Structure 1
């Protein structure tokens, strides 16, 4: 696969931010409106998934991984890149690999949105957040986390 600096790397992170009480933070993308998600982003050249997760968390919410219990779930999924976003990747790239992380906070903390990426935020119980998440991978990550929270 040929990759240049102008194309995104087809490896990304998903960081589910949640409270100890099971409230999950969802962010609404600027484009397309109505697309709700957890913290996400592609790896930059030379970056590990864990480094990318910490960077994206800071960029998209203003939160540091040190604000709570940051966890690498050691889980990843592959999915086809939607046609609407394929132009961001090299011509031969059709799939993305997403690594799952979470940040458990003791309570809701103030969030600083990146205005170029997100227009709104919501703290929702994990079941409602899973139902509102726009991507199936995000929904699955929230459901897996919620099952863990319920098991405690």
Structure 2
């Protein structure tokens, strides 16, 4: 019998991938049509640095290297604490109802096709930042993208 999956740690990262022209990459979740988001993911270990989790999640979900030449990863020093959606509550330990998410930006020189993990995502789109705000399913993701003109750094 396979071992049960460990509970998710209620600490995560959100990475807004964007260009200097403020175009934003959104990816659509599998199997939830219409659930568009930025790169997100939980820490693998309680003591994993948020930046390490951001770099790992970007690579896992898009195939991009956050440290590649011309890429600029920035910790926006923003944290969101939100209620975990009931449909995902089973992934967390009993009694855990909130997640804390750290926000990063990743500037890339231009829109590029990414290699999606078919287990997690089904489609991708690059949109101007205001259109990306409107397309996001998650309030915290939309809010993070709204900070892009002030916090998004590409140097």
Q: Structure 1 length as normaliser, TM-score?
A: 0.92
Instruction: Give me the whole-angstrom Cα distance separating, in 2, the residues matched to 1:7 and 1:60.
Output: 20
Per the TM alignment, residue 147 of structure 1 is displaced from its structure 2 partner at its CA by 4.3
Q: Decide whether the 8 Å contact of 1:22 with 1:126 is kept in 2.
A: yes
2:124 matched to 1:125?
no
Q: 1:108-123 to 2 correspondence within 5 Å?
A: 108-123=111-126
Alignment of 1:48-87 (within 5 A): 48-67=49-68, 68-87=71-90
Runs of at least 5 residues in structure 2 that lack an aligned partner in the other structure: none
1:144 partnered with 2:147: yes
Conserved? CA contact 2:8–2:42, under 8 Å: yes
Distance of 1:41 and 1:110 partners within structure 2: 20
**Alpha-carbon distance between aligned partners in 1 of 2:60 and 2:49, rounded to the nearest angstrom:** 16
So what's the TM-score if we normalise by structure 2?
0.90
Residue aligning to 1:104: 107
1: CA distance, partners of 2:66 / 2:76: 14
Alignment: residue pair count: 146
| Partner Cα distance (1:101, 1:13) in 2 | 7
3-state SS in 2 of match to 1:65 = coil
**Is this contact kept in 2: 1:26–1:122, CA < 8 A?**
yes
Q: CA deviation at 1:34?
A: 1.1
Moved more, 78-87 or 42-51: 42-51
1:7 maps to: 7
Distance (whole Å) between structure 1 residues aligned to residue 121 and residue 63 of structure 2 = 13
* Structure 1 residue 148 displacement after superposition: 4.7
Q: Structure 1: 5+ residue runs without aligned partners?
A: none
Distance across 2 between alignment mates of 1:148 and 1:80: 25
Runs of 4+ in 1 over 4 A off after TM superposition: none
The Cα of 1:5 is off from its aligned counterpart by 6.5
